[in-house]
Structure 1
Amino acid sequence: MKKLFTLIAMTAFLTGCASTLNIDRTYSGKMQDSRARFLVIHYTVSNLQRSIQLLTGDNVSVHYLVSDEDQPRIYGMVDESKRAWHAGKSEWKDYKSLGASSIGIEIVNPGYIDTPAGRVYAPFPQKQIDVLMPLIKDIVARNQIAPENILGHSDIAPQRKQDPGPMFPWKQLADAGLIIWPNADQVKARQAAFENQLPDIAWFQKKLHEHGFALPQTGELDAATKNVISAFQMKYRPSNIDGKPDAETAAILDVLTSSPSTLVTPFLEQIAHTPK
């Protein structure tokens, strides 16, 4: 009983302190930026009702959900100032556990089905993408998220995730100046050279790690390396995502890791020069 009274007294004391706390916010530190360094895009592998049920449950959450209704809408599910549980075990460049430093968007999409002819991924209706794009631009503008940090779940967790899959229209994001994209002419020129001499696996692993993927440098075409190559192909060469190193994949990877972005006016640069 004595412990109970002590706890009640402490609670009352702390509540009283909170109500009378006076903070002078006249000054603001110049050196500050957003908590969010990354934007991570997912698909739900469920319909809307089930997606909402899962994302409001005990195991996973996300900042925004884009529906697949006739008129798609955006559901705000976790405030951006708070961490949402959407990234899990993840890594990109020098960052790990990206849930703490990212904003997550889930898109209602059934994902894929495995058939006798192979895995078939579901498309994203353009009307859904038309709702998604302004949301991405708004998040990027407010948080100053760099183009190389707009990622898919498969980028940051390639050993266990495939979303948003090869049907997600990354090229539309590139055309809007949101993400980096390889110059097609440079890719074509380098592909011709790689057709004559394909780099070894160690080269692929080194370049993929330089691009941002977490990947052991084994020098062998192991399962982990195939998964990472497939994740890379999903984004930049979705017509063939077999995870095998080939001349086209090598050319795209080489351009992305050794040449500046081909975006003439990236989105962040556009808004920086937009008259207020």
Structure 2
Amino acid sequence: MKSLCLALVLVLLAGCTGGLRIDDSHTATGQNSRVQYVVLHYTSADLQRSLDLLTQTEVSSHYLIGDAPPTVYRLVDENRRAWHVGVSEWQGRTWLNASTIGIELVNQGYYETPAGRYWQPFAPKQIDTLIVLLKDIVKRHQLPLGSIIAHSDVAPQRKVDPGPLFPWKRLADEGLVPWPNEDAVARQQALFDISLPGIEWFQEQLAQQGYSVPRHGELDEATRNVIAAFQMKYRPARYDGQPDAETAARLQVLNLQAAG
């Protein structure tokens, strides 16, 4: 009798504690990762300040990479949402915190000086570490080429990080981001030097890249900000937001390469 009572008690306790049994023996083929993009940032602060901001405020990121030494800190599990991009849009998708992995690099960003804006270079070993991390993330989440983007790509009206000194070409050489064929750019630039497309063409090409950009054919501040974001990534020697033949050539070649 005592054994029967004990068994009944155990059954009741299992029910009270949510003793749900789930069968994992069947797996659907129609699935993929919830992660669609990786967004890169700089912190505008030193390591300790960066850790404080990213762990003790509402701002967060999945990873933080120090500069000396380039330690990788995991601050948010990849299965959870981090608050790192805010109001954002890329390829028509909005509010990208839900579908991105955020990586912050310890870097002061820029300083305003009497001689103009000074940007802090990224430590080479920090970039080496970032590349290892990115390759791991891309492999695990099976992300296609073009999935690694800048904060300035998804929020060009209010953000400039990771800035013009971030080595996107190095990432391209590692197979992590698309890069326009330089011979094709030179040929197309020679044509655009003769006849530069209109603003509406630039807006259309930028939209094909993924940017949220006006489509009214006017060179307003919002359009210049988007052009500057593209230039910081693919033509960092000059990122004045002005449409020119080289910018047009790089845009067109990239879009043609993406179209296959």
- TM-score, normalisation: structure 2: 0.92
Moved more, 224-233 or 109-118: 109-118
Can you list the C-alpha shifts for 1:157-176, whole angstroms capped at 9, x where unaligned? 00000000010000111001
The residue that corresponds to 2:203 in the other structure is: 205
Trace 1:88-237 onto structure 2 (pairs within 5 A).
88-237=86-235
SS in 2 for 1:148: coil
Cα shift at 1:58? 2.7
Which residue is equivalent to 1:248? 246
Contact 1:64 1:104 in 2 (8 A): yes
SS at match of 2:104: strand
**Partner in structure 2 of residue 60 of structure 1:** 59
Query: What value does the CA root-mean-square deviation take over the aligned residues?
Result: 1.7
Give the 3-state SS of the residue equivalent to 2:192 in structure 1. helix
**1-structure distance, mates of 2:19, 2:213:** 52
**Superposed displacement of residue 261, structure 1:** 8.5
What is the aligned residue count?
Answer: 249
Report the CA distance between 1:38 and its aligned residue.
Answer: 0.4
Q: What one-letter code is carried by the residue in structure 2 that aligns with 1:247?
A: A
Report the residue type matching 1:132 in the other structure: L
Provide structure 2 residue ranges, at least 5 long, that are not aligned to the other structure. 1-11
Letter in 2 for 1:122: Q
**Structure 1: segments with no counterpart, 5+ residues:** 1-12, 263-276
Amino acid at match of 2:28: G
- Provide the rounded CA distance (Å) in 2 between the counterparts of 1:15 and 1:143: 36
Tell me, what secondary structure is at the counterpart of 1:155? helix
Please report how far the alpha carbon of residue 259 of structure 1 lies from its aligned counterpart in structure 2 after TM superposition.
2.5
In the other structure, the counterpart of 1:273 is none
Identity of aligned residues (%): 55
**CA deviation profile, 1:60-114 (whole Å, cap 9, x unmatched):** 0000000012x21100000000000001000001211111000000000000012
Q: Which residue of 1 aligns with 2:3?
A: none
Q: Distance in 1 between matches of 2:13 and 2:143?
A: 38
Q: Larger Cα Rg: Structure 1 or Structure 2? A: 2
Q: Tell whether the 8 Å contact from 1:170 to 1:235 is kept in structure 2 after alignment.
A: yes
Structure 2 SS opposite 1:253: helix
Q: What code does the residue aligned with 1:160 have?
A: R
Alignment correspondent of 1:26: 25
Asked if the contact 1:182/1:261 (under 8 Å) is kept, the reply is no
Change (3 A) 1:36 1:188: same
Q: Secondary structure at the match of 2:146?
A: helix
- Contact kept in structure 2, 1:39 and 1:145, CA below 8 Å: no
Do 1:215 and 1:224's aligned partners in 2 also have CA atoms closer than 8 Å?
Answer: yes
| Distance of 2:193 and 2:96 partners within structure 1 | 37
| Structure 2 CA distance for aligned equivalents of residues 188 and 114 of structure 1 | 34
Residue deviations 1:15-35 (CA, integer Å, cap 9, x gap): 954441111111111111111
TM-fit CA distance, 1:117: 3.2
